[in-house]
Structure 1
Amino acid sequence: MSEPTQLPTQHRLTDWGVIRAQGTDAASFLHGQLTQDFAGLDRDHARLAGFCTAKGRLLATMVGWKQGDDDLLLALPAETLPATLKRLSMFVMRAKCKLTDASAEFAVYGLLGVPAAEAWTLVRDGDAVQIALPAAPGLGRALRVQAADAPAPAGAAITPEDWAGAEAQAGIAWVRGATVEAFVPQMINFEVLGGVSFKKGCYPGQEIVARSQYRGTLKRRLQVFESDGAATVGQEIFSSADPEQPAGVVAGSGTRDGRTVIAAEIKLAALDGPSLHLGSATGAALQPRALPYEIPPQE
């Protein structure tokens, strides 16, 4: 007799919301505002994308997909949703695109232990969608978005800390309230994870993002660490070699197997120093861990 299949675990992301972009110009409008290609988006994939200032700093990060031909949805952390919706709406002008906060219509879940799949592939289950997310080896992850009144997905519930720990372990971080305008996309490995198209046309901040990519001047990257100390998004990180100046900032944090897992944007030069610490040069020590993906060398 075969062993029963183990169900994935799930966590309802009550701290996430959904923006709806509806109209015949919805895809082209988002294409001109976000870091990813929405003009060529099909129904079997989602897009990781960022919304930048003119200086290339990320105001928000999100996952977008087609709910219908002229109906696109963007899922993102709720703390950045109101400002993102307001700022995007400023640029609609004559485009046939209506932007609304659709958060009340949907429930967003994070799933752990699902079968491995290429990140950003999308499977439809009636009106629900399940989107494969970047993951650490052996820990398949997905984002499931379904009607707010639909039953929860099968599987035991996990804590917010466990979900956030799996996110950090996967080497991905989302812009939160504490990190708005803190990063250009490459500082959090966004282009490696599929969040930037360098073949599409202009969008706010495009020149800065492209310059960071092609001039080989990037001096900061997202790295994964473990620690015995608790960490919060936006918390500064210090090197014992330079205790007066922050060496980085916590971009995401949670727990895995009883330890704190941190995705931190860090000065690359600080990785060669004696030690890194949370909050101050005498704070909890950070132990570097391998990213689950490769960072291409700068040309």
Structure 2
Amino acid sequence: MNPNWRSFLESAEGIFDTASADLLHFGDAAAELQAAGQQTILVPLTHFGLLEASGEEAKSFLHSQFTSDVNHLAEGQAQHAGWCTAKGRMQASFLAWRNGDAYRMTVSADLQEATQKRLQMFILRAKVKLTSLNDSTILLGLAGRQAEEALTDAGLPCPAEPMTTATSDGVTAIRLDTSRFVISAPEEMKADLWQKLSVKARPAGTPAWRWLDVQAAFPLVTLATKEEFVPQMADFEKIGGVSFHKGCYPGQEIVARTQYLGKVKRHLYRLTSPQALSAGEALYSPDNLDQACGMVMSAAPSPTGGYEALAVVQSNYSTNVHLGSREGPQVQAAAVNP
């Protein structure tokens, strides 16, 4: 991540995981989790990277690669998008929006470098430029009952509807749902934005944002789950991340066949557990002796104690799910889209 951004956050008492770019907390992780459920929080989204695709053929290139309909992504709108292998497995997921004639995309930070490098391989002679914006742009998450008021008081744009954007003076706000926003801003504005937004929003670490993602059933592909899921296994089509009416893209035939033949046996579930959960952990059922019955996709500590997660689980084994092995601790699974 941008070292200047990290230094600024450390000066604001942010504590980072030594093994990753995750910002753990600002001194009181438990209180920050409580605030995520009851108050308004401000989270540096250090677990995301930011890419930009520009050039006169950027739209057609992304449309030919992603699972969603980039051709109809209008200015002022945002959408989820997946990028699949030829076998239909998601190798990255994005939140994408227009920035003038260019397109910006958040992606899991641990996948950004490999994703950018591999996407570059498919550009060939197309008039497209892929750029990492990590050094020039910061990403902030704002969530809670006073989120809109915090944006307005800070003089920032506030989009009115979910999955829409508003831009002013180089700052873009993306509304994810009724009370959650992603803010993309020039790096040099970090101190001013932080000061203004933290008047009404409590600074919090990425675990608080991950917990909100679990509540919102937002399935993020990370390095730990790369190439593990067909989009429908993660219910990705239910958040607008897949178009079944657009042209070809990598894996499109398998994704479409899976949809129309109704062969999806695994879906997105919320897990609760007293044991720690982490992305990529296998799930098993004593009722299935052949193979694992699922995998954790994302996880976070819960404000009420224990842990919560999103996982892809084989539906007919969802009532008897164990972590790590068939003899491992049992976890509770509830379908996100029953």
TM-score, structure 2 normalization: 0.78
Residue from 163, 176, 187 that aligns with 2:222: 176
Write 1 or 2 for the structure with the bigger share of helix: 2
Q: CA deviation at 1:126?
A: 2.8
Distance across 2 between alignment mates of 1:63 and 1:85: 15
Q: Is the 8 A contact 1:165 1:260 kept in 2?
A: no
Q: Of 183, 207, 213, which residue of structure 2 is paired with 1:161?
A: 207
In the alignment, the residues of structure 2 paired with residue 244 and residue 199 of structure 1 have an alpha-carbon distance, to the nearest angstrom, of: 36
Give distance in 2, aligned partners of 1:171 and 1:240: 26
Structure 2: 5+ residue stretches without partners: 1-37, 149-158
Conserved in 2, the CA contact under 8 Å of 1:243 and 1:280? no
Of 97-106 and 146-155, more deviation after overlay is shown by: 146-155
Which residue of structure 1 aligns with residue 54 of structure 2?
A: 22
Match of 1:146 in 2: 185
Cα distance change, pair 285–118 in 1 and its aligned pair in 2 (3 A): farther
Deviation at 1:119, TM superposition (A): 3.5
Partner of 1:287: 332
**Please, what is the CA RMSD of the aligned residues?**
2.0
Match of 2:45 in 1: 13
**Structure 2 Cα separation of the partners of residues 213 and 100 of structure 1:** 33
Deviations 1:73-103 (A, max 9, x none): 1111111111111111111122111111121
* CA deviations over 1:196-239 (Å, ceiling 9, x no partner): 11111111111111111111100101111111110110001111
Task: Specify the SS of the correspondent of 2:125.
Answer: coil
Task: Answer whether contact 2:43 2:209 (CA < 8 A) is retained.
Answer: yes
CA distance in 2, matches of 1:193, 1:79: 23
- Find the counterpart in structure 2 of residue 130 from structure 1: 173
Moved more, 78-87 or 278-287: 278-287
What residue is the counterpart of 2:236 in the other structure? 190
Q: Which residue of 1 aligns with 2:139?
A: 108
How far has the Cα of 1:124 moved from its partner? 2.2
SS at match of 2:115: helix
For residues 242 and 7 of structure 1, the distance between their equivalents in structure 2, rounded to whole angstroms, comes to 42
Q: Deviations over 1:168-200 (max 9, x none)?
A: 121122111111100111111100011011111
Q: Residue 269 of structure 1 aligns with which residue?
A: 316
Q: Which of 49, 57, 74 is 1:42 aligned to?
A: 74
| Structure 2 residue identity aligned to 1:279 | G
Q: Could you say what secondary structure the match of 1:201 adopts?
A: coil
Displacement of 1:117 in angstroms is 6.4
Which residue of 48, 53, 61 corresponds with 2:85? 53
CA distance in 2, matches of 1:58, 1:118: 28
**Candidates 251, 255, 258, aligned match of 2:297:** 251
**Is the alpha carbon distance of 1:220 and 1:43 closer, same or farther for their aligned partners in structure 2, counting shifts above 3 Å?**
same
2:117 pairs with 75, 86, 107, which one? Answer: 86
Mean CA deviation greater in 101-110 or 118-127: 118-127
Alignment gaps of 5+ in structure 1: 1-5
Matches of 1:130 and 1:50, distance apart in 2: 21
Structure 1 distance, partners of 2:203, 2:140, is 10
The count of aligned residue pairs is 281
Q: Secondary structure of the residue that 1:161 maps to in structure 2?
A: helix
SS of the residue 1:234 aligns to: coil
Residue of structure 1 aligned with 2:164, choices 118, 121, 125 = 121
